[in-house]
Amino acid sequence: MSGEVKGVAVAAQQAGRQAGQHGRRQRGSSRVRSAVLWEALRTVLERIAPEDGPGDVVDVGGGTGGFAVPLAELGHRVTVVDSSPDALAALERRAAESGVTVRAVQGDAVDLPDLLGADAADLVLCHSVLEYVEDPAAAMVALTAAVRPGGSVSLLVAGQIAAALHRAAGGHFGDARRVLADPDGRWGDHDRTPRRFTRETLTDLATGAGLAPRELHGVRIFADLVPGALVDADADSAEALIALESAAATHPVLRELATQLHLVADRR
């Protein structure tokens, strides 16, 4: 191994330790909610980052940097494209507080190729954004163009079936029926989420843009059914619930019931 490559490998090991530290900094309930996702992201980054070194990551609709800043702390070169100047200002403050650099670009997801050029990233994140964009299919085409061949897209969206379960659990049985029947998975005019997805609608969106779906994870299958105070108060419970979430995340039935669906899809 050359000195330079060895240095990069050591940096990657340090980054892995920092990832664990990042996880431990979060409270029990927030750690439970994001553990499956971070595990999936670590796996993708290990696969696609050149020589275990830093990769180019673009976080579309990255908001205030909840993913971008920890990824920059891991040593990756991160760009956030977001339509909200306020979110980008908060991102820049958060990055400065953490001592990392994240490039902030204001713009719409559909304009990604114009904003960054084609093949700009090893990994494009689009987390909790496809629910809100005007045209998800057009946004997917733009995301795909921004990924280098061999790179991946990480899509996180609200699950339609979970919304029906949660409305029913709250006693809103008519809402639950409407969520299931509505093509956008909404329960009514007061529903603040414009669109939700199923495994099928999400994978169709990715394949329609020319991506090859790799793996679907269910995120928060059990976590939202458990009082947050329970896992915040007891570290052993938090660990046990993370293990359960992790075991269920790729279960072919349970994953479709998750509050959020996470799809990793590759550019061929």
What is the binding site for ligand SAM (CB under 6 A)? 61-63, 66, 82-84, 87, 108-109, 127-129, 132-133
Q: Return the number of the residue (11 or 138) whose C-beta is nearest ligand SAM.
A: 138
CB nearer to ligand SAM: pick between 21 and 84: 84
Question: Closer CB to ligand SAM, residue 153 or residue 176?
Answer: 153
Q: Which residues pair with 125 in a beta bridge?
A: 59, 154
108 versus 245: smaller Cβ distance to ligand SAM: 108
In the complex, the smallest distance separating the C-beta of residue 101 from ligand SAM, rounded to whole angstroms, is 19
- Cα distance between residue 183 and residue 102, in whole Å: 37
CB of 55 to ligand SAM, least distance (A): 18
- Torsion on CA atoms 219, 224, 228, 232, rounded to nearest 10: -20
How near is the Cβ of 110 to ligand SAM at its closest, in Å? Answer: 7
Cα(78)–Cα(81) distance, rounded to whole angstroms? 10
> Amino acid letter at 171?
G
Question: Pick from 248, 171, 182: which is nearest to 216 by CA?
Answer: 248
Distance between CA atoms of residues 222 and 246, nearest Å: 10
CB of 30 to ligand SAM, least distance (A): 12
In the complex, minimum distance from the CB of residue 10 to ligand SAM, in angstroms, rounded to a whole number: 30
Residues listed for the chain: 268
Residue closer to ligand SAM, measured from CB, 61 or 213: 61
Q: How far is the CB of 235 from ligand SAM (least distance, A)?
A: 25
C-alpha to C-alpha distances, 229 to 36, 64, 185, 218, 237, nearest whole angstrom: 20, 26, 29, 22, 11
Torsions phi, psi for 38 (to 5 deg): -65, -35
Distance CA 52, CA 45 (A): 8
Q: Can you tell me the distance from the alpha carbon of 216 to that of 197, in angstroms, rounded to the nearest whole number? A: 12
The smaller minimum CB distance to ligand SAM, of residues 40 and 129, is found at: 129
Residue nearer to ligand SAM on the CB measure, 83 or 198 = 83
> How far is the CA of 169 from the CAs of 38, 158, 176, in angstroms?
28, 17, 9
